[in-house]
A and B are shown apart, each in its own frame.
Chain A
């Protein structure tokens, strides 16, 4: 029986690709495991292997064809002596056997992703995390750069790399270590080109030994270097949390101020898509609880850049919480000799008089989308991006709440002892008389992250939940 060979998805996020090269021709016999073609995804060229045995009856898509949708028939496999059926190649992407795909593209996060290997981006499957507004349209009332500065679009990924590279050029005591950071250029391709520029002395591949290399980093910081320690994801930093807290955060105090620890621990934090409970945790509230640590969780590319530069220069241990889904997203970044963003200063992304929405990191994309939708219905939200959780810019939040009299917090982490809980208490203490409604916290659900697509969608926050919370506090 003839079978169609379909264009495969070769990464969790791929929707279409280029059929770069056929390695078989019509009439060739293939068996499972044979490499049939090379297919280019947006970031990498991958080999496509045969699953079934048979003869290549017909090649339907010529090599060199770009934009071939996943699940389009690209060739027909026949058995010995069989003809290629007339209707071969009638399969088109969306008509093939998975409704799920359709569902995904509707959820429609078009943002690009890397070729990262495993620990990888996954996100087409991700229902939540809207792209946020057009970054240009999102006029920031308080940009961190002078008005006439030249602006360019950069991804969070590029901004992070530029920040690290600029600081490494500026200060030769800065070095980078972590799993797959050098030769592989980062599991999420954050450190592209860094080994080439700085060499193996300053861009160091470590074995899979988080507790060990975090400790080595802390020791190097005690000794006067400025390490940047990449965790492939923060989930794996749980192996190392003792060094981060007991050694890095507490030593300055315990040594009576003699010995500080200028180190940056960084990596993606929070949920990606469909990677389940052990790979999806948000650590914002955990680390924000620890005196002695700085905790940074940016949203936009300019903040990733400016805050990373500040983090590397800071004399304290910094926990820098990134987000895999944001890595591929583009934002305005100023073209400046030395652009930094200070710790402890929130950014107001949108002004409004009806309600204050406070968020940070990926939560901002829900907050911003909710604000746009609410605006269509006449509710003007003020949206504050905390950017750093320690120090936390209480003043900006309180000033806004005094103006709007209502507040909703948005974060992806768990509800109990969340950043939102902390802010609610602070607002209650410092602006009690100004509140016209209780502060509501929109958070991830109080469950380990499930794998199943439908349950994962429910476990994460959604724009609708933010809108609903705003309706409750505005009684509309």
Chain B
């Protein structure tokens, strides 16, 4: 987990730090609210919360530029908020309403925004990894310098298609950053029980893909590592692997009693390594912000989230005609 925080002064501006704080807090409050709405029966099915992992996506988004793509798994709410998607539309998708990003047809695990270059939201473990390489393929094909951030978990890292993808990405120098969000568990299976080697980031070596581990509870460390990886990929040198060490505080999904780890283990990370607390301390100790400033950010964040929740409840269910739309890109009638 999070190593000792660096003592040297981090290379980050006050504004950037405040931005990190704001963005991470938005994700956390959003997820807490989603958990609450799930508890009230307003969200159904599977709902995988990102609480604890906020620094990963916020740090990496800080290195993205307009036109870069991102793709992830079912644990996707944080990624959507971090790339600038509207919390209202995300929350309304969770409640299965018309105002959701997929008009209520996709739900928590399957959401997309072409506008923000967010390519989902995928429910099948491992399947999004080659898709990410495919998006990167487009960048080479079009001869631009965009990169694709492809996120997946420690459990997903064992799927065969990941290695098929590594080979092609290296072979064709695809500008893809493979971000392995190692939160130590795949559902109830700890990494040690599923993975033959201790390190996942070294798994690209056989293909000639550089990789490194990153402290995922330190948003600045994530940003720094991200910058290096992005420069590599933008310069046409091919893929890069970042194994970002993080932790999910909640169960795998809403209904996981999480008996495979102790409460103490979770508490320890929360108390010692929480990414938001870390930034908060940096802001206060560096005199970049006062307690009052941070309270104001908290308040604004809560307001945004409450508005999103209200919108998600009030937005109507999709019209029943929607059952039959979007199956084909053209209006070809169904044959049954």
Contacts and interface: CB of A to CB of B under 8 A. Distances in A.
Contacts of B263: 35, 47
A9 B110 contact: no
B55 interface: no
A117 B252 contact: yes
A454 B186 contact: no
Given A179-B189, A447-B324, A208 B194 contact: yes
A451 B124 contact: no
Given A117-B252, A447-B327, A455-B318, A104 B41 contact: yes
A239 interface: yes
Interface in A426-473: 445-448, 450-455, 458-459
A453 B46 contact: no
Contacts of B320: 454-455, 458
B262 to A, nearest CB: 12
Contacts of A118: 46, 48, 187, 251-256
Contacts of A212: 160
Interface stretch (A180-188, A301-309, A389-397): A180-188
Main SS of chain B's interface residues? Answer: loop
Interface in A1-33: 6, 8-12, 32-33
Interface stretch (B31-39, B64-72, B133-141, B210-218): B31-39
B42 interface: yes
B116 interface: no
A162 interface: no
Interface hub of A117, A205, A274, A416 (most chain B Cβ within 10 A): A117
Given A187-B187, A207-B155, A450-B323, A278 B124 contact: yes
B313 A97 contact: yes
A446 B257 CA distance: 36
A418 to B, nearest CB: 9
Interface hub of A97, A115, A116, A450 (most chain B Cβ within 10 A): A450
A279 B254 CA distance: 16
A10 B317 contact: no
Given A98-B42, A118-B46, A452 B317 contact: yes
A277 interface: yes
Contacts of B193: 183, 205
B270 to A, nearest CB: 7
A212 B335 CA distance: 37
Interface residues on chain A, size class: 35 or more
A278 B108 CA distance: 12
B113 interface: no
Contacts, number: 215
Contacts of A11: 254-255
B270 A33 contact: yes
Given A44-B257, A117-B255, A458 B45 contact: no
Nearest to A50: B32
B257 A416 contact: no
Interface stretch (A119-127, A290-298, A352-360, A370-378): A119-127
Interface residues of B, number: 70
Contact of B39 (A6, A184, A415): A6
B252 A455 contact: no
A100 interface: yes
Contacts of B254: 10-12, 118
Interface string A80-107: 0000000000000000111011001000
B323 A207 contact: no
Contacts of B105: 276, 450-452, 455
A424 to B, nearest CB: 13
Given A208-B159, A212-B160, A98 B40 contact: yes
Which 3 pairs between the two chains have the least Cβ-Cβ distance? A8-B39, A451-B107, A274-B44
Interface of B: 28-29, 32-33, 35-36, 38-42, 44-46, 48, 51, 93, 96-97, 102-110, 122-126, 155-156, 158-161, 186-189, 193-195, 249, 251-260, 263, 270, 313, 317-318, 320, 322-324, 327, 334-336
19 contacts: A44-B257, A70-B40, A97-B40, A117-B255, A118-B187, A120-B253, A179-B189, A180-B187, A207-B155, A207-B189, A207-B194, A209-B159, A275-B109, A416-B336, A452-B97, A452-B103, A452-B107, A453-B317, A454-B318
